[in-house]
Chain A
Amino acid sequence: MAVDYTKYLRMEKMPLYWCPGCGDGIVLKCYLEAIDELGWSKDDCAMVSGIGCAARVTGYVDFHTLHTIHGRAIAVAVGIKMTHPDKHVFVFGGDGDLVHIGGNHLLHACRRNIDITVVLINNWIYGMTGGQHSCTTPTGAKATTAPRGSFEPTIDVCKMAIGAGAGYVARGFAGDPTRLKKLIKEGLEYKGFALIDVFSPCPINFGRRNKLGDPAKLLEHMKSFLVSSAKAKRMSEEELKGKFITGVLHKDTEKPELTEAYKGLVEKAQASDEYWVKYVKGTLTDADRDEITREELKKLYPYDVETPLKKWKKL
């Protein structure tokens, strides 16, 4: 059955801001199909993004959305999830945003296994600012800041995420939307931190400088770096050099999710008879409190200044 995408989009914001041939729209479509299949209400969904082309997704999806600052979307999302553990929290962003400037937050969200789904649109370039090389630009590829080709090594984001303890790690490809939707859906369903690294073409700001301005040609080129996890099993280490494996790369169903772990901590803390425990339970008695006279308080606050106290505006 066809998905009614308009249900999830702010249609008044159309047409999309992205360039012709950009993969962002494909990834967004796959993501919305996954949300639709799960039957999640828009009212329960919150999405955060930072800065960049992919970060513009928050402007289009009709959720609770925050378009924040460069690199910090995951940190912002942690604040939302910790205060609203029963809601679905997502982050969309690019490689420059989430891995390069924001890498520290990605690393620690992985470690915490907090139930946030991150869709990383990895286009190998800083697209919005005009095609500067990032931490995922293939070595030797040209960029506006690497006119002779990038001299830096790249990062395998998925390996990093697995090493850091992320519960669910997958790699997809904008050129294979059917599989991508499944990978995103599985990540959304996963109770813990899910990272879906999506190779996605930027023909304008990556492609054109590398004789790959034709989107189809760029997709083919990206595909040449990718190996399915099934095929990778049959390949030697030597053969896998420089390749990126697609599919579900890691899924840990045992690792506790962070907000669940925090619930356990709260239970432990609330098993005591401390002031704030009793306050919450409404069991405070006069024995838990201290009486203070106006004169005593004036000794602690001898200034001719208003207090926030209802009883003694001035002491």
Chain B
Amino acid sequence: MGRIAFLNANAAVAEAALVAGLGFYAGYPITPSSEVPERLSKIMPEKGLPFMMMEDEIASINACVGAAASGVKAMTCTSGPGFSLKQEALGMACMFEVPLVVVDVMRGGPSTGLPTRPSQQDIMQARWGTHGDHPIIALAPCNAQEAVFETIRAFNLSEKFRQPVVLLTDGSLSHLHTKIYIPDPEEVEIVDRAEPDVDPDNYYPYDYNYEVPPLAKWWTEDGKSYRYHLSSLIHDKTGFPTVNPKYTQWLLERMHNKILNHLDEILKYEYYKMDDAEICIVAFGSTAEAARVAIDQAREEGIKVGMFRPLTIWPSPEEQIKDIASKVKSFIVAELNLGQYKLEIERIVGGKVPVYGVNQAAGVLIRPSQIYEKIKDPAKRVEIGLTEEELKRFGGGE
């Protein structure tokens, strides 16, 4: 038994993080994400856990890296501009290989952009925001209940693979209040980082014998103290810097392979009415809910259309997309940006079938009617799905 609540997805993420075993939160206020720290500031002390509002976005993710490295599950939360500021430390977390969850409630960009309006413009920022070759896992839930489930999964994946995980929601989903179920911690699978099977004297934080070397808590519950060094420089098995080309290449390849060799555990996706589909809509997050309605409507008219919905955005589900490409006549990628994930789908499809886009970066959700229009006539450009009357209400622009 858990709790039934009426919450927005931001509060849902906060509650789910505690279910997953969150031990430290540090953040900085930014619209539209602020309900996450607001709720955590109430419930974390209740659970006896440290909660911090830091001096800036940079400090908040760095404090999380410190907590995470020492042995605690940590999370920070932000939106586009703050996510940009966090990128350097996100790279450090990848390099240290510490578990960490970063929530990005996407708003319209670039720059200050549209603080109160939803977008999916951080798809590529989530993948390539920090410099250098690095792996990343990014998840995109489509409703508040899924935000609960995916938050728990984000923690589990990050602990299992010693890997920062980005949870992408958006300004619409995050503020929509719905009924949700928050399970008790005992009701769900919780993954904690692997413990080393050697004593502190024989421990290496990047032991060559593992694909994912266990990350020892600095102070274990049974009183052991694992003293070791982690460096943001390229390092060997001891954690100390090296410039040896062999170990440099080896480290970067292992960091990628620990993800790529376990796609079956990391990828998650939904096939919706895809069995006989000739058109495949690719949509994720809030946009997927509009796509579902459009598909149902088109199906009533006998149009064979379905949806492939990646819950794991990065790494991308290459095999699944390739398989679909061999069966359908076209793809339509619907997203709240000017075509970021479409680029990835085009890369995977490799010109085998046409890939169309419903792309809207207007700060309003894509409506089912827009996707429906595109299904009917894929070559036609879909305009912003608002009437003149509706546009007037936003004011400005004249």
| Interfacial residues, chain A to chain B (CB-CB below 8 A) | 10, 13, 42-44, 46, 48, 58-59, 62-69, 72, 75-80, 82-84, 87, 104-105, 107-108, 262, 265-266, 268-270, 272, 274-277, 279-280, 286, 289-292, 296-297, 300-301, 303-311
Contact = CB atoms under 8 A, between A and B. Distances in A.
Nearest to B70: A80
A275 B3 contact: yes
Contacts of A72: 58-59, 62, 89
A301 B180 CA distance: 9
A301 B12 CA distance: 14
A78 B47 contact: no
5 contacts: A64-B225, A79-B70, A269-B42, A276-B46, A308-B152
A79 B65 contact: yes
B70 A48 contact: no
A277 B181 contact: no
Contact of B145 (A67, A77, A300): A300
B45 interface: yes
Contacts of B156: 308
B308 to A, nearest CB: 12
A69 B52 CA distance: 21
A47 to B, nearest CB: 10
Contacts of A104: 55-56, 59
B4 A292 contact: yes
B118 to A, nearest CB: 20
A309 B187 contact: yes
Contacts of B178: 300
B38 interface: no
B187 A68 contact: no
Q: Which of A75, A107, A303 has the most CB of B within 10 A?
A: A75
A108 B178 CA distance: 38
Contact of B64 (A79, A276, A305, A309): A79
A178 B206 CA distance: 40
B69 A66 contact: yes
B48 A266 contact: yes
B373 interface: no
A78 to B, nearest CB: 5
Which of A65, A82, A268 has most B Cβ within 10 Å? A82
Contact of A65 (B230, B233, B270): B230
A300 B146 CA distance: 9
B1 A286 contact: yes
A80 B188 contact: no
Given A69-B89, A80-B70, A275-B3, A75 B59 contact: yes
A310 B152 CA distance: 13
B263 interface: no
A298 B186 CA distance: 20
Nearest to A299: B179
Contact of B149 (A67, A107, A308): A308
Given A13-B240, A72-B58, A297-B181, A82 B63 contact: yes
A73 B1 CA distance: 42
Contacts of A62: 227
B67 A83 contact: yes
Given A274-B43, A276-B46, A308-B188, 14 more contacts: A10-B229, A42-B227, A64-B70, A77-B66, A82-B67, A83-B50, A108-B54, A266-B48, A275-B3, A279-B184, A289-B3, A300-B145, A301-B143, A310-B187
Interface in B135-190: 142-143, 145-146, 149, 152-153, 156, 178-181, 183-185, 187-189
Contacts of A277: 46-47
A105 B60 CA distance: 10
A266 B55 CA distance: 22
B55 A272 contact: no
Interface in B205-241: 218-219, 225-233, 240-241
B18 interface: yes
A269 B231 CA distance: 37
A84 B218 CA distance: 10
- Of B88, B178, B183, most A-chain CB atoms within 10 Å: B183
Interface string B307-320: 00001000000000
Contacts of B149: 301, 307-308
Contacts of B226: 64
A44 B225 CA distance: 8
A258 B247 CA distance: 42
Contact of A79 (B24, B180, B268): B24
B55 A289 contact: no
A291 B62 contact: no
A201 to B, nearest CB: 25
A185 to B, nearest CB: 22
A182 B364 CA distance: 62
B253 to A, nearest CB: 22
B227 A289 contact: no
Contacts of B65: 68, 76, 79
A64 B227 contact: yes
B384 interface: no
B92 interface: yes
B389 to A, nearest CB: 33
With most chain A CB atoms within 10 A of its CB, the pick from B46, B64, B240, B272 is B46
A84 B70 CA distance: 9
Contacts of B74: 79
Nearest to A288: B3
Interface string B60-92: 101111111111101000000000000011001
Contacts of A66: 66, 69, 96, 229-231
A4 B47 CA distance: 43
Nearest to B153: A308
B270 A270 contact: no
Contacts of B62: 68-69, 72, 75-76, 79, 105
A286 to B, nearest CB: 7
Contact of B218 (A46, A67, A270): A46
